[in-house]
Amino acid sequence: MYSCDTSMGKRAMYNSDGEMLVVPQEGALKVQTELGWLDVPPGHIAVLPRGLVFRVEVEGPSRGYVLEVFKGHFDLPDLGPIGSNGLANARDFEYPVAAYDETSDAAGVAGTYDWQLVNKFGGKMFETKREGTPFNVVAWHGNYAPYRYDMAKFCCINSVTFDHPDPSIYTVLTCKGDGNGTATADFVIFPPRWMCMDNTFRPPWYHRNCMSEFMGMVWGKYDAKEGFRAGGASLHSCMTPHGPDAATFNAASNADLKPDKFDKGLAFMFETDVMLSVSQKALDAEHRDKEYFRCWEGIPRNFEKVVTTSGKRKR
């Protein structure tokens, strides 16, 4: 997660370790890259390829989320039987045009090292000074470039009969893993959508799996958790059971199953088959919710043993 309130000025960065996917939650980002500018307001995402020099301008307090992958690149998921259209369509990803930086001495003044260049390498930060701006590309071609995507353009695929599809049906981008059915990282969103399944508990089911799930909120509320606020986050590590809280369970279990449009928020998930560790700084944070587990208290037991007069047990 990131939080900032000041533009980078004559300071730029590139990441030698991996590719970064950025999800603004509050405050628009104006990202200058070697290949041009990207305007990235909340509701959009940006992907910055490994090794690309960039800097960020903000207009005030800004915060959001960053997913970094150290192997492979983000790509569209295979659509399989969905066919040629659906989910995130290739036509909706936007790339910058070349923007030669003329606002400062592009060539620099000999002996004047007025730009700072930061390099993330091997998990550490290194910096150097350079003459003139690094954003001096006049034109470019190719497909190794930064891009942005408006999540409002995501085309949801959902059940129109019964049952609850796996959340992977909401995958925007994926970085494929080594094994079938797994991913180094998936970027999944839960946008406004219609829910109309018959005889179905509509929020996400209770489950555990081999993927670790980091959840975040861009705006509004999440349909499976009360009190999960925009700008917050949760981490459900692999093989740890989780699902809707008690209030959501009770409401969904008694809901009238008519077609219902959920338009109260935009949540997302970073999902990975890599084992994640939590930093000590995060564990010690004052704003960490140490009572989070209590959201599952109060879920009733709906099945009990019944002993009949014949001595046989029923449920």
Residues acting as catalytic residues: 164, 207, 213, 236, 242
Q: What CA–CA distance (Å, rounded) separates 165 from 197?
A: 10
C-alpha span between 220 and 229 (Å, rounded): 7
On the 0-12 / 13-18 / 19+ scale of CB atoms within 10 A, 272 is buried
Residue type, 269: M
Structure tokens at 272: 């990975």
Name the strand (E) or helix (H) holding 214. strand 212-220
CA neighbor of 51 nearest in space, from 37, 35, 66: 35
Structure-token pair, residue 260: 């219902």
Alpha-carbon dihedral sign for residues 154, 157, 160, 166: negative
